[in-house]
Amino acid sequence: MARLDPHSYTDSSQPQTRTLRWRARVDFERHVLDAEATLVFHQPGGGALDLDTRGLDVHAVTDAAGAPLAFALDAPDPVLGARLRVTLPEGSPSITVRYRTSPEATALQWLSPAQTAGKREPFLFSQCQAIHARSVVPLQDTPRVRITYEAELTVPAALRALMAAAFVKRELQGATAVESWTMPQPIAPYLFAFAVGDVTSRDVGPRSRVWAEGSVVAAAQWEFADIDAHLVVGEKLFGPYDWDRFDVLVMPPSFPYGGMENPRLTFVTPTLLAGDRSQVRVVAHELAHSWTGNLITNADAEHFWLNEGWTRYAELRIVEATEGDDAGALHAALGRRGLDRAVERFFKEGRPELTRLRTHLAGIDPDDAFSEVPYDKGCLFLLALEAHVGRPRFEVFIREYIARFRFGAITTEDFLGFTEERLPGALAAVDAPAWIDGHGVPANAPVSRSTLLDAIESLGGTVPDVEVGSKWSPTEWQLYLDSVPHPVSYDTAKLLDTRFDLTRKTNYEVLCAWLLVALDARYDAVLPRTEALLGEVGRMKFLKPVYRALMSRPDTVAVARRAFERNAASYHPIARMVITPLVSG
């Protein structure tokens, strides 16, 4: 027996799933899916088959001929969920599991009409990364086992169902609609994704459309008008786009991430609709995952930096190519600020091991280990390699890397082995062990410079003149606010707000960066806006630092706890889980 992924019961000596056939009926009353999953193996096999599940109520397991098979569902492990062990007769080509999901399924959020933009229809969506697919489908929930799939969802006829797959058809059957899809490219299970709601679409390019609720779709079409330009840059950098379409679904506000790179259909938070097109970078990031992540996938969560570090690197290249070098430098500097804060926090919390690129996560929930480290330290490591060998050679290396590992799952060791082979000596030159297994950020980390950045830094935390600050882009504001030495004085905060009306900013990145500065300065005129924000967005990137800031001041602890009590029920289950420890104790 060999269990290779610390977050899965998958045993590499057992039959491996090649394809999934999935049918589910969406029950908005009881918040469950009544479903049937057929797992077809690469080769017929026999003996024990271990699957990952979480909260599934398994009714029956049958063989290819429909005969019942013996199965045992273990008691759940708090991180992994429950192992489902099926005993296969020799030569079994497939099995079918009939089951019902739990109303508490960690991958699903069921929204009432009141929690949507339109207020008339409910909404359901999935978020499977890193290890939540098992709460929706019993399967081998590890990126090492890629699957193709065919899926069918039965939903209320008033709603539209979407999947991160190729649409096949929609058929009306009385009060319900049956929609179906096929996913011909093999994907890691964490990329299994769907949403059901009152959504509509607008084209934004030859390969792209945006989906959103009716009241939001025009804003989304405007905000993401440049998607195709990004696709073109992505293809220049990485080679042909392999997933046919690149569509974007704007989620309801409770979506816990900025974006999720579900293949063919990226999910994004509505906080990207800033009205200034600045957040199309998040879309660029999710697009870049089409190569780094969806094509070449981290073998498990301990190698997450291979997904996110590479994708952050690509995001930066796309920003550079579409917005210019100065914008790229600012973007890189923002990343560095976020990284430094995360590293400082992990050191303070006594968890310096989470500042490594290669992590050790047995017994640890990947959602708890999540931070900027794999993103920005990973990206800096790649930039250090690039600086050493030069961009032209590094670009050849990127193409070779993709050609070598596409549709595979790799570890840090695989990456290092390949890098040593193609760029001999480069790893030693940048001191790769310090990046991979060392704590913190190595001193040889590349630093990006630009005149815009120098101008912001030369302010040294003083308040910019009206003519200067009013011309700043959202990124310049964010960088300024992230860079001012904390805490600024009450008077500085007040002057900033009166001069630039920061509390009324509608770009959430700028607003959130400002609220953190103001809270630290005890400029409490921002408290009402802060409390409101905690009830209007579910994106963890905003919720976590704001809750932390409130909890760090004895006099605002009660504000944080009250806000959490009021809003917890409408937060996503993952957000609820990661914020609970922040507001307790």
The residues annotated as belonging to the active site are: 286, 375
CA 6 vs CA 137, 188, 364: distances in Å? 19, 16, 9
Q: What is the 3-state secondary structure (H, E, C) of 343-371?
A: HHHHHHCCCHHHHCCCCCCCCCCHHHHCC
CA 3 vs CA 9, 19, 50, 230: distances in Å? 7, 21, 10, 39
Could you tell me the smallest distance in angstroms from the CB atom of residue 370 to ligand BES? 6
Residues that bind Zn ion (CB under 5 A): 308, 311
Question: Which residue of 121, 286, 320, 476 would you call a contact of ligand BES, by CB under 6 A?
Answer: 286
423-449: string of b/e by CB count within 10 Å (b at 16+)? beebbeebebebbbebebbbeebbebe
Could you tell me the smallest distance in angstroms from the CB atom of residue 257 to Zn ion? 9
Query: From the list ligand BES, Zn ion, none, which binds 282 (C-beta under 5 to 8 Å, kind-based)?
Result: ligand BES
Query: From the list ligand BES, Zn ion, none, which binds 258 (C-beta under 5 to 8 Å, kind-based)?
Result: ligand BES
The two three-digit tokens of residue 420, written as one number: 């040593």
Interface with ligand BES, residue 282, by CB under 6 A = yes
Query: From the list ligand BES, Zn ion, none, which binds 370 (C-beta under 5 to 8 Å, kind-based)?
Result: ligand BES
Interface with ligand BES, residue 130, by CB under 6 A = yes
Sign of the torsion angle spanned by Cα atoms 111, 114, 115, 120: positive
Asked if residue 43 lies in contact with residue 15, where contact means CB atoms within 8 angstroms, the answer is: yes
Comparing CB distances to Zn ion, the nearer of 123 and 224 is 224
Interface with ligand BES, residue 257, by CB under 6 A = yes
Comparing CB distances to ligand BES, the nearer of 126 and 448 is 126
Could you tell me the smallest distance in angstroms from the CB atom of residue 544 to ligand BES? 11
Local structure of 551: helix, strand or coil? helix
Question: Which residue of 259, 263, 309, 545 would you call a contact of ligand BES, by CB under 6 A?
Answer: 259
Comparing CB distances to Zn ion, the nearer of 14 and 290 is 290
Interface with ligand BES, residue 258, by CB under 6 A = yes
CA 466 vs CA 197, 373, 463: distances in Å? 44, 35, 9
**Quick one: which segment of 71-79, 114-122, 167-175, 285-293 binds ligand BES (CB under 6 A)?**
285-293
Could you tell me the smallest distance in angstroms from the CB atom of residue 342 to ligand BES? 13
The two three-digit tokens of residue 434, written as one number: 């310090």
Q: What radius of gyration, in Å, describes the C-alpha atoms of the chain?
A: 24
Where helices occur in 465-526 by DSSP H, the ranges are 466-469, 474-483, 490-500, 508-520
Paired with 27 in beta bridges are 32
Phi, psi of 45 (to 5 degrees): -145, 180
Comparing CB distances to Zn ion, the nearer of 5 and 308 is 308
**Quick one: which segment of 38-46, 158-166, 281-289, 464-472 binds ligand BES (CB under 6 A)?**
281-289
Query: From the list ligand BES, Zn ion, none, which binds 257 (C-beta under 5 to 8 Å, kind-based)?
Result: ligand BES
Could you tell me the smallest distance in angstroms from the CB atom of residue 335 to ligand BES? 9
Count of beta carbons in the 10 Å neighbourhood of residue 134: 29
Paired with 53 in beta bridges are 82
Asked if residue 266 lies in contact with residue 231, where contact means CB atoms within 8 angstroms, the answer is: no
Q: Which of residues 335-374 bind ligand BES (CB under 6 A)?
A: 370
Could you tell me the smallest distance in angstroms from the CB atom of residue 259 to ligand BES? 5
Residues 6+ apart with CB under 8 A from 449: 329
Query: From the list Zn ion, ligand BES, none, which binds 141 (C-beta under 5 to 8 Å, kind-based)?
Result: none
Question: Which residue of 7, 285, 331, 356 would you call a contact of ligand BES, by CB under 6 A?
Answer: 285
Q: Which of residues 538-577 bind ligand BES (CB under 6 A)?
A: 541
Strands 160-163 and 166-173: unpaired
- State the residue number with the nearest CB to ligand BES: 258
Could you tell me the smallest distance in angstroms from the CB atom of residue 356 to Zn ion? 19
Could you tell me the smallest distance in angstroms from the CB atom of residue 452 to ligand BES? 20
* Helix, strand, coil in percent for the chain, rounding step 5: 45, 25, 35
Comparing CB distances to Zn ion, the nearer of 162 and 306 is 306
Q: Which residues bind ligand BES (CB under 6 A)?
A: 129-130, 257-261, 282, 285-286, 289, 308, 370, 375, 541
